[in-house]
Amino acid sequence: MLGCGSYLPAQILTNADLARKVDTSDEWIVQRTGIRERHVAAPGETTSDMATLAARAALAHARVDAQSIDLIVLATSTPDNTFPASAVTVQAALGITHGAAFDVQAVCSGFVYALATADSLLKSGSFSRALVIGAETFSRILDWTDRGTCVLFGDGAGAVVLDRQEQADQGEERGILTVRLRSDGRHKSKLYVDGGPSSTGTVGHLRMEGKEVFRYAVAMITDVVEDAFEATGYTAADVDWFIPHQANKRIIDGSAHKLGIPPGKIVVTVDRHGNTSAASIPLALNDAVADRRIKRGDLLLLEAMGGGFTWGAALVRW
C-alpha cells in the first residue's frame, strides 16, 4: 500500500442543524451514535467528483503518476448513474485510457470488498498498480424526514494506491496480508434502499431497522476478524491500529472490547464524518496517516459490516 488520500465536501451539517429539520437533539445523536457532525456534498457534486479528488490525493501521497495505474476499483452504493460505473468517470478524469476500471457494490463493506478484489487481481499478475477508492453521496438517498436514519450518514471519499510487489525473502510480510469477506442475504431487508432500476425505476431512499443491524454487528465483525487472525497467525495483541467502519461509536467500542483491542489503538472519525459507508475506512486511514499516528510497518486491522448483510476484515502491514 503505497499511499492514501481523502476528500470531504466543504459543507458541514451539525447535530444542531439536524435538530432544526427533524425531531432530534444533539444529546440523543451523540449518546446513541457518537456522531457530532457530518459533511454533505454540494449541489451538483457527485460521487465520481469526490472519488477523483481522493484518488489524486492518494497518488500525490504515494508519489506515483496516474499513468502508472492500470486498475481502478471504486466501492460505492451511490454511483453517479446506474451505469456506466463511476470508476470509468474517475479513470477519464485522471486521463487514464489503459487498464480496467469498475465499481464494487457491497454497501458499508464496499471498501473491504474492493480491497479484496484489487488484491486478487494484482496477485494474479493481470495488473500492476491499483487505485482502490470508497466514495459515497448518501445524502442523496436519505429520507430527510426520517430521524431514525438521516442523522447517521455523511458524504466523502477515500482512496489507497496498491502496488504489486514481491515479498522480501526475509523480514516481515508487507502489504495486504489477508482479506476475509462474508455475506448473508437473509438479512437484506434490514438495511436497504426502497428503489432501483429493475424494481421501481427510481433511485429510492435508505431504509433501516437500526436496532436489528445493531444486534448483529458486533458478533459478525468480531467473527470475521477472528477469521483474519486465524488465517495469518496474528492476534489482537499484534495490531497497532484498529480502523473500523465508522457507523456507530457503540459498535466500534463493543467490537474492540470483545476483540481485546485497547481504546488507544482505535482510529475514530465517526464523530466528525458520520457513517460514510464505503468511504469510511479509507477516510479514517487517511486521518491517522496524515497526523502520523500510523507509521510504516504498523499492522492495521480494517473491518466493516453493512447492508446485505455484508461484512469483512483485512489485515494490512502499512
Q: Which of 108, 150, 187, 273 is catalytic?
A: 108
From 61, 245, 248, 273, active-site residue? 245
Pattern 46-85, binding to ligand UT7, x per CB under 6 A? ----------------------------------------
Q: How far is the CB of 290 from ligand UT7 (least distance, A)?
A: 23
Binding mask 128-157 for ligand UT7 (x = CB under 6 A): -------------------xx--x------
Min dist. Cβ of residue 217 to ligand UT7 (A): 5
Of 182, 203, 214, 216, the one binding ligand UT7 (CB under 6 A) is 214
State the minimum distance, in angstroms, from the CB of residue 306 to ligand UT7.
Answer: 4
Report the alpha-carbon distance of residue 169 to residue 267 in Å, rounded.
Answer: 32
Q: Counting Cβ atoms within 10 Å, is residue 33 exposed (0-12), middle (13-18) or buried (19+)?
A: buried
Q: Hey, which residues between 237 and 276 contact ligand UT7 (CB under 6 A)?
A: 247-248, 251, 275
Tell me, by CB under 6 A, how many residues bind ligand UT7.
Answer: 20
Residue 211 binds ligand UT7 (CB under 6 A): yes
| CB-closest chain residue to ligand UT7 | 210
Q: Is 98 annotated in the active site? A: no
Nearer residue to ligand UT7 within complex by CB, 9 or 308: 308
If one asks whether residue 308 binds ligand UT7 (CB under 6 A), the answer comes out as: no
Distance of alpha carbon 126 from alpha carbon 106, whole angstroms: 23
Catalytic annotation on 275? yes
151 CB neighbour count, 10 Å cutoff: 25
Instruction: Verify whether residue 4 is a known catalytic residue.
Output: no
Residue range at the interface with ligand UT7 (CB under 6 A); choices 113-121, 170-178, 207-215, 222-230:
207-215
Using CB under 6 A as the binding rule, whether residue 217 contacts ligand UT7 is answered as yes
Binding mask 89-118 for ligand UT7 (x = CB under 6 A): -------------------x----------
Binding residues for ligand UT7, rule: CB under 6 A, are: 24, 28-29, 32-33, 108, 147-148, 151, 191, 210-211, 213-214, 217, 247-248, 251, 275, 306
Catalytic residue annotation = 108, 245, 275
